[in-house]
Amino acid sequence: MNTSDNNSLDNPIQHQTYLALPDGLYSEVPPVRVEQPSLLVLNHDLLTRYGLSTDWFESADGINFLAGNHDYAEQHPMAMGYAGHQFGHYSPQLGDGRAHMLGQLKTNNDQFIDVQLKGSGRTPYSRGGDGRATLGAVIREYLISEAMAGLKIPTTRTLAMMATGDKVMRDYQMVPGAIQVRTATSHIRVGSFQYAYAKLGASGVKALADFLITHHYPDVSEHEVSDNKNKYVALFEAICVRQANLIAQWMLVGFIHGVMNTDNMSLVGESIDFGPCAFMDEFKANKVFSSIDRESRYAWDQQANIGYWNLQRLAETFLPLFDDKFNEDSDKSIEMAQAPLSVYVTVFQQAFQDGLKQKLGVTASTQDADDFINEALPTVAGESMDFTQFFDALTRVAQGDESETQLLSLFSNQEKGEQWIARWHSVRDLSSESVKAMRAANPALIARNHQVEQAIEDAMERDDFALFHRLSQALKNPYSVSGDNRDLQAAPMPEQRVLRTFCGT
Ligand code: AMP
Ligand code: MG
């Protein structure tokens, strides 16, 4: 591979770290050519963050490279194998059925970032699928991942959205195809470990674990390992901590991932694979959006439990690494997995509780304050309030920007509202730090499902990307609203409500 860092017209994707993994965990395979590639959207802000120029990405070479029309001889593009528990049922052979890992770009901080094409054609893992993605699904991932980034929640990102010029068949209709150019710190999932364990046994798991430590958890080998905690237990615990924090952050902004299958859970603690996900409008703890989640397995309030369940599946693959004598006696390994799992529970509870206090602007730890915090979400649910509007209105009262009228108007029962607000005043922290912390915890804007769906419909049916651009711009800074985008704060009218989100892949 040639590496010249200076010329902005050179391809910056010049590394393929996954080649260090054992054979069998991936297949080298190039993306499949498309009819007429074009660049629909380039994420300039993200490139600026990486310290890269946009020139090559906008060049003919860049566009062909990011849409599958290149010879890739030096790049070693690959599809990665993974397994996964989907809605609780184990599938031994999933893998990148429509995605190609092109390699890594290097940021100006010498960080390596995965660049993957999603919707780039069939691979050895495609099973019956066509390997393609619809424009609608790519728009959805773009907007949700940008919203996540705006909320400062760890997430995969979308570097670019490519049109393919091909049509794909979905629900008996031909719709425009597209490719998402996705970036991530890593694409290793719980399902990658399940796959490695099934295919190669402990040696495969060890290779993946060592890869993760080297590239993504350097602290594990440098600091954390003590006599009674081996390197792999320390890695497992570090993974548990990141996952606990991530899920707490999701829940605190009313996010429902919708398909927390083990193949959709990243081991670096980033949100990944936004399919039938959504930010809640009206708050309901057991809310579900995904049309395929018929048993409410991935409801808003189930997400921490599911995270734990997924980490147990991960622990099962780690067991042989925890103790040399695992094959003769597995008890010790199983016991060693318990402490990190307990850490997950503690970290999640702490992060969620702290986050809720921050949202409410309460720092006291009196009995009154505790009771108030514990009753806050049931109150929001009982009054059928819009989650985001409620916490935003509360923040604006705390900031002194607004009288209580608007906040009170969100309560269906005014008397209850007045009592609740009076109670809030009696426990809340008036300091400017607390008010600032409230603002940081309470976005004014979220990627509302009805707006995302409207942006998809406009683009798919009328080739109109205006709403898409408006949303992606506004969601970059979801804590402030300007006159131009005040309307984006609106909850859906009854007829606009999206009750179910379909994969629309
Ligand atoms: P997902 O629901 O996107 O997390 O994908 C679950 C599995 O189905 C993964 O192995 C995907 O690669 C695969 N898959 C999803 N859509 C397609 C498609 N259109 N063609 C081939 N494989 C697909
Ligand atoms: Mg997936």
How many Å lie between the centroid of ligand 1 and the Cα of residue 404?
A: 48
pLDDT of residue 72 exceeding 80: yes
Q: Would you state the pLDDT for residue 2?
A: 46
- Atom 13 (ligand 1) nearest CA: 97
* Ligand 1 and 141: CB distance under 6 A: no
* Banded model confidence at residue 227, pLDDT cuts 50, 70, 90: low
Atom number of ligand 1 nearest to Cα 82: 10
pLDDT of residue 501 exceeding 80: no
- Atom 23 (ligand 1) nearest CA: 97
* Ligand 1 and 281: CB distance under 6 A: no
Give, for ligand 1, the residue of 27, 32, 94 to mutate: max count of ligand atoms closer than 8 Å to Cβ. 94
Average pLDDT on 239-249 reads 98
How many Å lie between the centroid of ligand 2 and the Cα of residue 459?
A: 24
Q: Would you state the pLDDT for residue 291?
A: 83
Residues with CB under 5 A from ligand 2 (ion): 264, 273
Q: Would you state the pLDDT for residue 229?
A: 76
The string of pLDDT tens digits covering residues 17-44 is: 999 999 999 999 999 999 999 999 999 9
Structure tokens at 155: 């997430």
Atom number of ligand 1 nearest to Cα 264: 4
Q: Would you state the pLDDT for residue 499?
A: 75
Residue 423 marked in a binding site? no
Q: End-to-end CA distance of the chain: give it in Å, rounded.
A: 34
Sign of the Cα pseudo-torsion (191, 195, 198, 203, in order): negative
Question: What are the catalytic residues?
Answer: 263
Q: Which residues of 270-290 are buried (b: 16+ CB within 10 A; e: fewer)?
A: bbbbbbbbbbbbbbeeebbbb
pLDDT of residue 314 exceeding 90: yes
The string of pLDDT tens digits covering residues 367-403 is: 999 999 999 999 999 999 999 999 999 999 999 998 9
Tell me the Ramachandran region of residue 299: left when phi exceeds 0, alpha when psi lies from -120 to 50, beta otherwise. beta
How many Å lie between the centroid of ligand 2 and the Cα of residue 476?
A: 25
The string of pLDDT tens digits covering residues 162-218 is: 999 999 999 999 999 999 999 999 999 999 999 999 999 999 999 999 999 999 999
Average pLDDT on 322-342 reads 95
* Ligand 1 and 429: CB distance under 6 A: no
Cα–Cα distance measured from residue 439 to residue 127, given in angstroms and rounded to the nearest whole number: 47
Structure tokens at 477: 């800074």
Q: Would you state the pLDDT for residue 224?
A: 60
Encoded amino acid at 370, one letter: D
Determine what percent of the chain is predicted with pLDDT higher than 70.
96
Average pLDDT on 346-361 reads 98
- Let me know how long the chain is: 505
- Residue 484 DSSP class: G
Which residues fall within 8 angstroms of residue 345, CB to CB, at 6 or more apart? Answer: 244, 308
The string of pLDDT tens digits covering residues 394-406 is: 999 999 998 999 9
Average pLDDT on 470-485 reads 94
Encoded amino acid at 228, one letter: N
How many Å lie between the centroid of ligand 2 and the Cα of residue 84?
A: 9
Reduced 3-state DSSP string for 66-118: CCCCCCCCCCCCEEECCCEEECCEEECCCCCCCEEEEEEEECCCCCEEEEEEE
Average pLDDT on 223-231 reads 70
Q: Would you state the pLDDT for residue 3?
A: 47
Cα–Cα distance measured from residue 113 to residue 186, given in angstroms and rounded to the nearest whole number: 7
How many Å lie between the centroid of ligand 1 and the Cα of residue 103?
A: 20
Residue 103 marked in a binding site? no
The string of pLDDT tens digits covering residues 410-463 is: 999 999 999 999 999 999 999 999 999 999 999 999 999 999 999 999 999 999
Helices within 260-400 (DSSP H only): 303-322, 331-360, 367-382, 387-399
Average pLDDT on 118-131 reads 97
User: What is the pTM assigned to this prediction?
Assistant: 0.96
Residue 130 marked in a binding site? yes
**Mean confidence (pLDDT) of the chain:** 95
Average pLDDT on 311-328 reads 96
Q: Would you state the pLDDT for residue 4?
A: 47
The string of pLDDT tens digits covering residues 275-297 is: 899 999 999 999 998 888 888 99
Encoded amino acid at 248, one letter: A
pLDDT of residue 1 exceeding 60: no
Average pLDDT on 263-271 reads 98
Atom number of ligand 1 nearest to Cα 86: 6
